[in-house]
Amino acid sequence: MTNDGSSNGQHRAGLAASLAGRAAYGNGRPAGLMSVPQGSTALAAKDFKSDQEVRWCPGCGDYAILAAVQGFLPELGVPRENIVFISGIGCSSRFPYYVETYGMHSIHGRAPAIATGLAVTRPDLAVFVVTGDGDALSIGGNHLIHALRRNINLTILLFNNRIYGLTKGQYSPTSELGKITKSTPMGSLDQPFNPVSLALGAEATFVARTIDSDRKHLTEVLRAAVAHRGASFVEIYQNCNIFNDNAFEVLKSPTTRDDYLIRLEHGQPITFGKNREKGVRWTASGTLEVCSGDDPSVVVHDAHHPDPTLAFALSRLAQPDLAMTPIGIFRDVDRPVYEDMLADQIEQAVARQGRGDLAALLASGDTWTIR
């Protein structure tokens, strides 16, 4: 099976089939948008381009991600006023300026917290979080994991370039061990975070990984993430051509990508290589290892299994040199959404005690008059 022909085609067909089987809800709209109104006017990609000058460095991978997002947003059929992008601080966090929707360029690491409040109070909005490896996994680490464990209905896009770009090239929480940067001239001593493993450990119900330069794959993963109801986490490998150029080149180059990338397809055997000659199987110790592609014990990917064991094991496959790096949807499962449970609690409380009177509550009990 050749690389650019049937191999990639089957992968994309698998993603599309997974999306079609999971996205329908009620009137056929994606479950993730069930409470968001549908627009009456058809929109195009140009309608999601703002009048702001894009201030990323020429050649930055963020341009490709922006184009992919602007290209797929019209498919949602959602009015622009019902779409919101919340970001923190960093190169990626300039994203809200460039999309013609509502948005907020907020404070460092706090985008998930702000987005949580918005999603809970405004279920009629499709809420996106755009963040980077530094913003999300350093100062914002706690906010990220709590948004994921609560299963807030958010689509979180983490641009991972393994470097601090805005502050000019310091190592980040995802920089590889031994990385030499301006802030680590003798090499980083920090063990890097694996964002997919972290998200799975926080019990995220949708976890995926994609690459900035693979427009079709990126778009398909974004569609599936928005279709999911609950916390969707998408790690996007993104090239910083100024401070960490070619960090993911082996996953992009036609001469190496087939041997380095493992494209996950729900319901399909996990195989890779130019001719699918390599596969993945369980070991006696409960980890995954590479085997022959025609080995009968090759694992069949199940993104919808309620237990995250397989998804987590897949997230640990990637080597420091990026060999055996899985991309695609690791996990896509259903779990009660925080906003829905909160609305139920409020409804029950009102049914028992009435709507209440805030002014009366503030004036009740012991009070003092200051003269």
List pLDDT tens digits, range 251-266.
999 999 999 999 999 9
- What does pTM read for this prediction? 0.90
Q: Residues 78, 79, 85, 91: is their CA dihedral positive or negative?
A: positive
> Does some domain include residue 92?
yes
pLDDT band at 234 (very low <50, low <70, confident <90, very high): very high
How many structural domains are present in the chain? 1
E runs forming strands in the chain: 24-25, 29-30, 83-87, 102-105, 126-132, 155-160, 206-211, 232-237, 261-263, 271-272, 278-282, 288-292, 325-332
Structure tokens at 285: 């110790």
Residues 212 and 236: beta-carbon distance below 8 Å: yes
The CATH number of the domain where 184 resides is what? Answer: 3.40.50.970
pLDDT digits (tens, 9 = 90+) for 56-99: 999 999 999 999 999 999 999 999 999 999 999 999 999 999 99
> Does some domain include residue 340?
no
| Separation of alpha carbons 239 and 228, rounded Å | 27
Q: Residues 213, 217, 220, 226: is their CA dihedral positive or negative?
A: negative
> Does some domain include residue 354?
no
> For 125-132, what is the mean pLDDT?
98
> Does some domain include residue 356?
no
Structure tokens at 155: 């689509």
Q: What is residue 108's three-state secondary structure? A: coil
For residue 298, the model assigns a pLDDT of 98
pLDDT digits (tens, 9 = 90+) for 210-229: 999 999 999 999 999 999 99
* 26 pLDDT above the threshold of 50: no
> Does some domain include residue 360?
no
Task: State which residues form the domain around 136.
Answer: 3-267+299-335
* 17 pLDDT above the threshold of 70: no
> Does some domain include residue 254?
yes
> Does some domain include residue 341?
no
For residue 5, the model assigns a pLDDT of 42
For residue 111, the model assigns a pLDDT of 98
* 344 pLDDT above the threshold of 80: yes
The number of beta carbons lying within 10 Å of the beta carbon of residue 35 is 18
> Does some domain include residue 364?
no
* 152 pLDDT above the threshold of 70: yes
pLDDT band at 6 (very low <50, low <70, confident <90, very high): very low
